[in-house]
């Protein structure tokens, strides 16, 4: 019976972890940086005991998405400048490598899948187009990594990009989103033409522009 109990508990903890992690990464109301999360309230919300809620929060703490505040709860952390510097460094290394491999391995079907993600109706007809753009953008860059044919590299790219979602695209305008789509189309064209130099240049310029925008925004906020 104990084994059955453990098996039943893990899916609940996994579900809670995924739900809270997604809410933090995408900045859902109630999960913004500086918000205090209470395991009792989360347990009530998800209809579970405190144990799976605590397990989920401890996993998030290990990812530095929350920090423990003794006798109070778990505080949603705010990425520091150093966090962002390190994330951009990793993103540059990983996505450059992914694109270099993608030029060699990308298929015609994958090219069309990437083009589909640059269509305006994927973003602008959503209720929250900014949030939807962030999800589509994550899917686009993950799919580019997938075309490399290296699953370990793909998982690493996605992991870094997920951690960066809290900082990316806040207060983004529709014009800025269209500019991103244009940059994506340049990358797709370079991949289709097997133009390694242009593909690498394109992805590195995209990363640098994102970095400049985020750091300029953070400096303005501070």
**What pLDDT digit, counting tens, does each position of 34-44 carry?**
999 999 999 99
94/163 same-domain check: yes
Contact indicator for 154, 98 with CB cutoff of 8 Å: yes
Better-scored residue on pLDDT, 142 or 120? 142
Reported confidence tier of residue 125, pLDDT bands at 50, 70, 90: very low
Q: How many domains does the chain have?
A: 2
131/158 same-domain check: yes
65/86 same-domain check: no
Question: What number of other Cβ atoms are within 10 A of residue 143's Cβ?
Answer: 17
pLDDT at 80 > cutoff 70: yes
Contact indicator for 171, 86 with CB cutoff of 8 Å: no
pLDDT at 58 > cutoff 70: yes
70/163 same-domain check: no
pLDDT at 220: 43
Q: Where is average pLDDT lowest: 69-83, 93-107, 134-148, 206-220? A: 206-220
Angstrom distance (rounded) from CA 206 to CA 141: 11
18/123 same-domain check: no
Angstrom distance (rounded) from CA 32 to CA 75: 10
pLDDT at 10: 55
Sequence-distant (6+) residues with CB within 8 A of 127 are none
Whichever domain contains 90, its CATH number is: 1.20.120.530
Put residue 93 in one of left, alpha, beta given phi > 0 → left and psi -120 to 50 → alpha.
alpha
66/98 same-domain check: no
Which range among 28-32, 64-68, 83-87, 199-203 has the greatest average pLDDT? 199-203
Q: What is the mean pLDDT of residues 127-149?
A: 87
Whichever domain contains 27, its CATH number is: 1.10.10.10
Put residue 76 in one of left, alpha, beta given phi > 0 → left and psi -120 to 50 → alpha.
beta
108/18 same-domain check: no
pLDDT at 28: 86
pLDDT at 217: 67
pLDDT at 213 > cutoff 60: yes
43/143 same-domain check: no
Domain residues for the domain of 69 are 2-76
pLDDT at 169 > cutoff 50: yes
Angstrom distance (rounded) from CA 59 to CA 147: 30
Reported confidence tier of residue 138, pLDDT bands at 50, 70, 90: very high
pLDDT at 51 > cutoff 50: yes
């Amino acid at each position: 019976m104990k084994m059955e109990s453990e098996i039943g508990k893990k899916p609940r903890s996994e579900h809670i972890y995924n739900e809270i992690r997604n809410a933090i990464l995408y900045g859902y109301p109630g999960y913004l940086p500086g918000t205090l999360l209470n395991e009792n309230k989360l347990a009530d919300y998800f209809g579970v005991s405190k144990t799976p809620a605590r397990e989920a929060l401890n996993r998030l703490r290990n990812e530095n998405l929350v920090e423990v505040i003794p006798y109070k709860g778990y505080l949603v952390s705010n990425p520091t400048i150093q966090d962002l510097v390190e994330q951009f460094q990793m993103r540059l290394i990983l996505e450059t490598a992914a694109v270099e491999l993608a030029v060699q391995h990308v298929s015609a079907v994958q090219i069309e899948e990437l083009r589909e993600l640059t269509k305006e109706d994927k973003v602008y007809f959503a209720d929250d187009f900014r949030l939807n753009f962030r999800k589509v953008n994550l899917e686009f860059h993950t799919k580019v990594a997938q075309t490399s044919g290296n699953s370990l590299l793909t998982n690493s790219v996605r992991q870094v990009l997920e951690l960066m979602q809290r900082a990316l695209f806040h207060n983004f305008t529709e014009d800025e989103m269209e500019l991103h789509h244009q940059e994506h189309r340049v990358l797709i064209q370079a991949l289709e033409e097997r133009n390694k130099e242009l593909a690498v240049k394109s992805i590195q310029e995209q990363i640098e522009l994102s970095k400049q925008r985020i750091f300029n925004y953070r400096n303005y906020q501070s």
